[in-house]
Amino acid sequence: YRKNLWKWGKTPAEVMPELVSYTDVAIGNEEDAEKVFGIHAPESDVTAGKVEADQYLYVCEKLNERFPNLKTIAITLRGSISASHNEWSAVLWDEGTFYEGIDFDITHIVDRVGGGDSFMGGLIYGLKTYGDDKQKALNFAIAASCLKHSIFGDFNLVTVDEVQKLMSGDASGRVSR
């Protein structure tokens, strides 16, 4: 759902429930469940940049109660300090197990556009590559998206090796040849 792209003639709350009822995987950001389904993370304030990962377990559980077909739910968490400085993480709920991802403090953001798409692509890659290691899959997606914030344009140009280095703690940014 994107407010500026929504041209269905009905509100998202009127359209999305039926669409979600046909899916088993849902991916969104920290505001989507609230804006579309009225499900709010307790003790969170997105407008103040306060997004606590553990509060999104409630959101995932409520989404699963409403849509029992959902097997996997991923939510990106952006704490906006300023337009060029964000805290970045995500959570993953997979068939009742809740995972909190690694946290990144992203300074000097080049472009936020494409960050969510990069997360989704990274999560798909991570789930296919790491199998049952959902934590590693989630961390791969977060790291891929984190690196995307350093690239202009709406696509990610980093390599799998660069993502793996960042997710394992190498944030030096050094070029390997």
pLDDT digits (tens, 9 = 90+) for 53-101: 999 999 999 999 999 999 999 999 998 889 999 999 999 999 999 999 9
Tell me how far apart the alpha carbons of residues 49 and 79 are, in angstroms, rounded to a whole number.
4
Question: Residue 2 falls within a domain, yes or no?
Answer: no
Is pLDDT above 80 for 171? Answer: no
Question: Residue 173 falls within a domain, yes or no?
Answer: no
Range of the domain at 74: 12-167
Q: Which pLDDT value is given to residue 174?
A: 54
Question: Residue 6 falls within a domain, yes or no?
Answer: no
Residues 146 and 106 sit within 8 Å (Cβ to Cβ)? yes
Looking up residue 35, the CATH number of its domain turns out to be 3.40.1190.20
102, two tokens: 């690694």
Q: How many other CB atoms are there within 10 angstroms of residue 53's CB atom?
A: 19
* pTM (2 d.p.): 0.91
Question: Residue 91 falls within a domain, yes or no?
Answer: yes
Under the banding of pLDDT at 50, 70 and 90, the label for residue 172 is low
Question: Residue 177 falls within a domain, yes or no?
Answer: no
Q: Which pLDDT value is given to residue 19?
A: 94
pLDDT digits (tens, 9 = 90+) for 38-56: 999 988 877 777 788 999 9
- Pairing label, strands 72-82, 97-100: unpaired
Question: Residue 3 falls within a domain, yes or no?
Answer: no
- Number of domains observed in the structure of the chain: 1
Question: Residue 43 falls within a domain, yes or no?
Answer: yes
